Amino acid sequence: MANEPPKRRAPRAPRPAPRAPRPARRAEVTSAVRTGPPARRVRAWAEAVLAAAAPRSRASVSVLLCGDARMRRLNREFREVDRPTDVLSFPAGEPAFLGDVAIDVPYAARQARKRGHALDREVQLLLAHGVLHLLGHDHETDQGEMFRLQRRLVRRAFGPGPDGVPEGEP
């Protein structure tokens, strides 16, 4: 036994290639309502809007899905308008974080019924509209430029269908 050759170890299996890091989420969604599209679906839509609106950017957004009472409080506090609205945007002014978009889901549901399309499509339209505001666009002062961008953005991110642009706008 003393003259036996040393035992060789079995060759090691090759190490698996390192995984590519997961891309950082570009959208975080908080839902404070029991109805409406699930947060994971809204996150995917928000990321689709960001990819279509700012394809070279890695900036992120935060989305709040809320009800009428919370939206009314936000609208009163930040715009001094004492009623709910469909969507509000709060720009952050930072390159890596565009800001927050708040969507009133019950308001959006009423709006969707009135306009004859699904709630999912209405939330998609409001996301696109809110993100364009975060990117600095303002339909109240730009002679229709934001609505033209919104029409293209919605088509690019979600395909044909309603685009949320009011009648008579370019």
CA pair distance 66, 106, nearest whole angstrom: 8
The one-letter amino acid code at 142 reads D
Is position 2 within any domain?
Answer: no
Count: domains in the chain: 1
Separation between Cα atoms, residue 121 and residue 37, nearest integer Å: 10
Nearest to 71 by CA among 26, 111, 116, 108: 108
Kindly list the strands in the beta sheet with 60-66, ordered across the sheet, starting from the edge strand earlier in the chain. Answer: 27-31, 60-66, 97-104, 87-91
pTM of full prediction above 0.85: no
* Residue 101 token pair: 């978009």
Is 96 contained in some domain?
A: yes
Task: Give pLDDT tens digits along the chain (170 positions).
Answer: 556 666 666 666 666 655 544 455 689 999 999 999 999 999 999 999 999 998 888 899 999 999 999 999 999 999 999 999 999 999 998 889 999 999 999 999 999 999 999 999 999 999 999 999 999 999 888 888 898 899 999 999 999 887 777 766 66
Residue 3 lies in a domain: no
Q: DSSP label at 47? A: H
d(CA 165, CA 76): 25
Question: Is 21 within a domain?
Answer: no
**Which structural domain, as residue segments, surrounds residue 42?**
27-157
Is 6 part of any domain? no
In a domain, 22, yes or no: no
HSE-up (13 A, CA, CB side) for residue 81: 8
- 9, part of any domain: no
Whichever domain contains 141, its CATH number is 3.40.390.30
